[in-house]
Chains A and B, each alone.
Chain A
Amino acid sequence: MARSSINWLQVVGGTITAILVLVAIFAPVLAPHDPTQAVAPTFGDPGPPSLAFPCGTDQLGRDVLSRLIYGARVSLIVGLSAMAIAMSVGVVVGLCAGFFGGWTEVILMRITDVMLTLPGLLLAMAFVAILRPSLLSILLVISLVSWSGVARVVRAETLSMASRDFVLAARALGASSFRIMVRHILPNIAPTIVVMAALSTSGTLLLDAGLSFLGLGVPPPTPSWGRMVEESQIYFRTAPWLVFFPGMAILLAVLGFNLLGYGFLRKRNR
């Protein structure tokens, strides 16, 4: 088999995520209409896709395509920031647990186990409902229920590194624990971290979409894909395109990050 440095999974995944990021950044330029204003003459009824409105218009006469384009912003902000927080917490917890061992490990890993036992979506729903939905609360709650899986994997990887010769050598040379962790172990588990980051982004994106679908997303009028699915659900007989497009947007975004993750995984295992 050809040993290419990049495989097709990474190419497709990278393209999808790159397009997504560009769409989010240039939303005001790309969107043909204002996502929060009624622009279609069909106000009150969903309008089918047409040349003027490629994805149709919703029950309030708003352009669905523009809403999808702006929806990329919220999804990416929540998905990526929640991933970044969850990864940071997970990596620090896993690294400390795996490196120090003893009571540090026992306490940190028991907390991780408890978090893994609690039902993620249910807990997220409860906390978002209690804290009231806002960009910040959603982001924090998604991170809260997402870090534990990362911590467990990073701990296992750190454990396998901590007894290697190069770590022992660094220790013999008098390197501090912090230095060994950051300069010697972290670079060696970086490939795993990259894979976990890509895969957890698809997880945080799905969790965010699910919360929005349940009415616990970023509050209106900010367009969000999950809420667009929820709001158009009652039109599933008369205007199925209203449900179709926002769901496809979620699917593509999640797929992009999944492809990237599996691509990195496959490259590493080769």
Chain B
Amino acid sequence: MLIYLAKRIAFALLVLLGASLITFCIAFVIPADPAVAIAGVKADPQTLAAIRAQLGLDQPLYVQYVRYLSRALHGDLGRSYVRRQSVTSLILARFPATALLAICAMGLSLLLGVVGGMVAAAYRGRLLDTLLLTVSLALVSIPVFWLGTMFLVAAAAYFRWLPLGGLDGARSLILPSLALALGSGGYYSRILQANLAEVLELDYIRAARAKGLSPLRVMFRHALANAILPLVTLAGLDFAGLLSGVVLTETVFNWPGLGRLAFEAVFNLDIPLIMGTVLFSSFLIVVANLVVDALYAWLDPRTRLS
């Protein structure tokens, strides 16, 4: 188990290094000069040269990369050109709102996915299964920004007690969480249904049924325990994605989270902030990968033996 984990960690570090390299590249495909971005177009050459020297832009690329990397390792992601604040503190300030939304959305998607998947598997081949398949495919196909906007239309017309955006109490979480959860919930229910359909054909399920266990007990205690494993991987990675900010949903609901921050950064071509948010979300995904791998090895011993 320890060797397995050590391998996974080494691999994660390698991937993170690659991600940092690509993030670093963002700064260099940009035609704009960062010194001009900071000092303005009218700045004289001496000022520009001084800023370049201060930022280390006059150094060779590999020196700049090593410097960027060692600073990132110390939690310093540079300063935003536009907001003139440290990128790390900007990200940390926005993180709680995003995390709150991510937790609610993930809880709701798992609930929808598990219930939908189990019902579809229990009624396999019957009308309800077909109906659920159609609904989940439709849910997966809905563009989230449009669903969010339609929720706003409905809330403005019929549900006046629901806030139309911003983070303001528990009620303001309902619409954005639901908008996020419907799509992934539909997807999870498909995955779970497919796994359950396979597991329910296995001999140990037949044995459990033959013992006279109730269908509900067979489903929950025996089938679900096995079929839900692939969902762990999927949900773990999705959760990391949610935690790194959901640009579209946060834009629709004016949510003060990381997604909005990233959106502003892209629009202002605020390079350090763009690099920071991309690197932060890669970091979250790598960590989520690790957690999922460890969880998987713990839940399913076959993984760590092979």
Contacts and interface: CB of A to CB of B under 8 A. Distances in A.
Given A114-B18, A254-B143, A258-B141, A244 B150 contact: yes
Main SS of chain A's interface residues? Answer: helix
A243 B278 contact: no
A153 B266 CA distance: 31
A150 to B, nearest CB: 17
A130 B248 CA distance: 19
B111 interface: no
A119 B18 contact: no
Given A125-B247, A126-B274, A243 B141 contact: no
A88 interface: no
Given A110-B14, A251-B141, A117 B285 contact: yes
Contact of B153 (A209, A236, A255): A236
A236 B141 contact: no
Interface string B258-269: 000011001101
Given A123-B278, A130-B31, 9 more contacts: A121-B247, A131-B29, A210-B143, A213-B145, A214-B247, A216-B266, A229-B145, A236-B156, A258-B137
Interface of A: 1, 110-111, 113-114, 117-119, 121-123, 125-127, 129-131, 202, 206, 209-210, 213-216, 226, 229-230, 233, 236-237, 240, 243-244, 246-247, 250-251, 254-255, 258-259, 262
Main DSSP-derived SS at the B contact region: helix
List 5 tightest A-B contacts by C-beta distance, closest first: A247-B146, A114-B18, A255-B141, A254-B141, A119-B281
A119 B259 CA distance: 11
B141 A122 contact: no
A214 B251 CA distance: 8
Contacts of B18: 110-111, 113-114, 117
Nearest to A230: B145
Contacts of A216: 266
Contact of B244 (A119, A125, A250, A251): A119
Contact of A129 (B153, B252, B267): B267
Interface string B141-154: 11111110110110
B134 to A, nearest CB: 9
B63 interface: no
B149 A118 contact: no
Interface string B21-40: 01100100111000000000
B9 to A, nearest CB: 14
A209 B26 CA distance: 23
A209 B143 contact: yes
B268 to A, nearest CB: 9
A125 B263 CA distance: 8
B282 interface: yes
Contact of A250 (B14, B143, B153): B143
A216 B266 CA distance: 10
Contacts of A226: 143, 145
A44 B276 CA distance: 42
Contact of A125 (B23, B31, B262, B286): B262
* Residue from the set B125, B138, B147, B153 with the largest chain A CB neighbour count within 10 Å: B153
Nearest to A229: B146
Contacts of A111: 18
A250 B141 CA distance: 8
B138 A251 contact: yes
A113 B15 contact: yes
Contacts of A129: 266-267, 269
B199 to A, nearest CB: 15
Contact of A119 (B140, B141, B142, B241): B241
23 contacts: A114-B18, A118-B23, A118-B281, A119-B282, A122-B262, A122-B266, A122-B277, A122-B281, A125-B263, A125-B266, A126-B274, A127-B26, A130-B26, A202-B141, A210-B143, A210-B145, A214-B263, A229-B145, A229-B146, A240-B150, A240-B157, A243-B149, A255-B141
Contacts of B149: 229, 233, 236, 243, 247
Contacts of B150: 240, 243-244, 247
A247 B15 CA distance: 37
A118 B22 contact: yes
B30 A255 contact: no
Contacts of B144: 210
